Amino acid sequence: MKVIFLKNMPGTANAGDIKEVADGYARNYLIPKKIVAFLNPETTSLLKAQLQAKASQKLKKEAEFAEIAHQLEGKEISLQAKVGTKNRLYGSITSADIAAELQNTIGITIDKRKIELVEPIRELGNFDITIRLSKDIIPKIKVIVNERGADSSA
**51 vs 60, more confident:** 60
Q: Is the model's pLDDT at 34 over the cut of 80?
A: yes
Please say if the pLDDT value at position 84 is more than 90. Answer: no
Tens of pLDDT, residues 97-135: 999 999 998 888 899 999 999 899 999 989 999 999 888
Mapping DSSP onto H, E and C, the string for the chain reads: CEEEECCCECCCECCCCEEECCHHHHHHHHCCCCCEEECCHHHHHHHHHHHHHHHHHHHHHHHHHHHHHHHHCCCEEEEEECECHHHEEEEEECHHHHHHHHHHHCCCCCCHHHEECCCCEEECEEEEEEECCCCCCCCEEEEEEEECCCCCCC
Length, in residues, of the chain = 154
Task: Decide if pLDDT at 152 tops 70.
Answer: no
Residue 39 pLDDT: 83
Nearest alpha carbon to residue 6 among 41, 52, 43, 42: 43
pTM over 0.95: no
Domains assigned to the chain? 2-60 (3.40.5.10), 70-147 (3.10.430.100)
Q: Give yes or no for a contact between 141 and 116, defined as CB atoms under 8 angstroms apart.
A: no
Name the phi and psi angles at 8, rounded to 5. Answer: -70, 140
- Read off the pLDDT of residues 14-31 as tens digits, 9 standing for 90 and up: 888 888 999 999 899 999
Task: Give me the pLDDT at residue 140, please.
Answer: 93
Q: In whole angstroms, how far apart are CA 102 and each of 68, 73, 112, 118?
A: 12, 12, 10, 19
